Amino acid sequence: MTTKPIISVHGLTKTFGSFTAVDAISFDVAPGEIFGFLGANGAGKTTAMKMLCGLLSPTSGQARVAGFDLSTQTEDVKRRIGYMSQKFSLYEDLTVAENIQFYGGIYGLTLAEIKHKSIALATELGLTLEMNKLVRSLPLGWKQKIAFSVALLHDPAIVFLDEPTGGVDPVTRRQFWDLIYAAAHRGVTLFVTTHYMDEAEYCHRVSIMVDGAIKALDTPHALRKQFGVASMDEVFTLLARGAQRSAD
C-alpha cells in the first residue's frame, strides 16, 4: 500500500466488565478498498465496527478514521462516514423520498441537492415509481439497496456495512454487490461484515476475527494459499474451529 490508510487501527480494545469483546486489534484499510470483516457470531465484529463508527467508546487503543482521531474528533468522523446497521435502518412509516429527504437533511444537504440525489438514486436503483411508497410496503432486498444508497447520500469517505445482505436472496445479493463495486469504483472505502463466504471472495482484502482478535488478514487469494485450501469457506472453518467462545 502506497497511499495513506483511510482507517488505521492500533491496539483497539473493548472490555465489558471482565469480558474482552475486542482484544487489541490493529489493521489499516486503504482508500477505495473493499475490506471484508469476517468472524463467527460473538467474535466481536459488531463491537469493533461500532467503535469505528463512534457508537461505542474504546476501552483502550487508537484509531484514525477518515483522517480524524476516533476518540477526540468523533463528530468529525461521523460527518465523513456512512453506516448501514444490522437492524434495518430506514423509517418504515416514511416513504422512500421522505427517508432520503430526512437523512440528506440531517447531514446538511440543501433541498436542491436532496432533490438532485433523489432523482439520481431512483434512476440508479430503478425505483422511480416507488419513491412515494412507504418503505414498509417494499420487499426486503429493495429496502437494503435503498438503505445502502441512503448511507452514501452525503458522499462519505467510508461506508460501514454490518451484514448488509442478511436474509436476502442470492440474486439480490449479487445486485447489492454490484452497488458496492460501483461505490468502490467512485473511491468510497467499504468496510463490510458478512457471514457469506462467497461475498468474502468479492472483497479486496479480508480479516477474520476469532475470540476478539484478528487471526488472519490478507487478500482472499493469499489466505487460500496460506492455509492450503480451495475456498474462503474452508479458511474460515479452519480458523473458527479454534474459537473458545460459543456463539451468542
Q: Which residues bind other proteins (CB under 8 A)?
A: 53-57, 74-75, 78-79, 81-83, 85-94, 98, 101-103, 105-108
Shortest spacing between CB 105 and other proteins, in angstroms: 3
3-state secondary structure 201-234: HHCCEEEEEECCEEEEEECHHHHHHHHCCCCHHH
Shortest spacing between CB 5 and other proteins, in angstroms: 21
In this complex, which beta carbon is closest to other proteins, that of residue 151 or of residue 235? 151
In this complex, which beta carbon is closest to other proteins, that of residue 88 or of residue 227? 88
Can you tell me the distance from the alpha carbon of 205 to that of 208, in angstroms, rounded to the nearest whole number?
A: 10
Shortest spacing between CB 163 and other proteins, in angstroms: 12
In this complex, which beta carbon is closest to other proteins, that of residue 93 or of residue 228? 93
In this complex, which beta carbon is closest to other proteins, that of residue 3 or of residue 132? 132
**Length of the chain (residues):** 248
Burial of 8 per CB tally in 10 Å (0-12, 13-18, 19+) = middle
Shortest spacing between CB 141 and other proteins, in angstroms: 18
In this complex, which beta carbon is closest to other proteins, that of residue 89 or of residue 207? 89
In this complex, which beta carbon is closest to other proteins, that of residue 113 or of residue 198? 113
**Residue 215 neighbours by CB distance under 10 Å:** 17
Under a CB-based contact definition with an 8 Å cutoff, are residues 189 and 7 in contact? yes
Q: Report in angstroms the alpha-carbon separations of 238 from 57, 101, 192, 223, 234.
A: 32, 46, 21, 11, 6
- Helix (H, G, I), strand (E, B), or coil: what is residue 38? strand
> Angle CA(147)–CA(54)–CA(99) in degrees, nearest 5?
25
In this complex, which beta carbon is closest to other proteins, that of residue 85 or of residue 207? 85
Shortest spacing between CB 162 and other proteins, in angstroms: 9
Can you tell me the distance from the alpha carbon of 206 to that of 37, in angstroms, rounded to the nearest whole number?
A: 6
Shortest spacing between CB 56 and other proteins, in angstroms: 5
Shortest spacing between CB 242 and other proteins, in angstroms: 29
Can you tell me the distance from the alpha carbon of 238 to that of 215, in angstroms, rounded to the nearest whole number?
A: 11
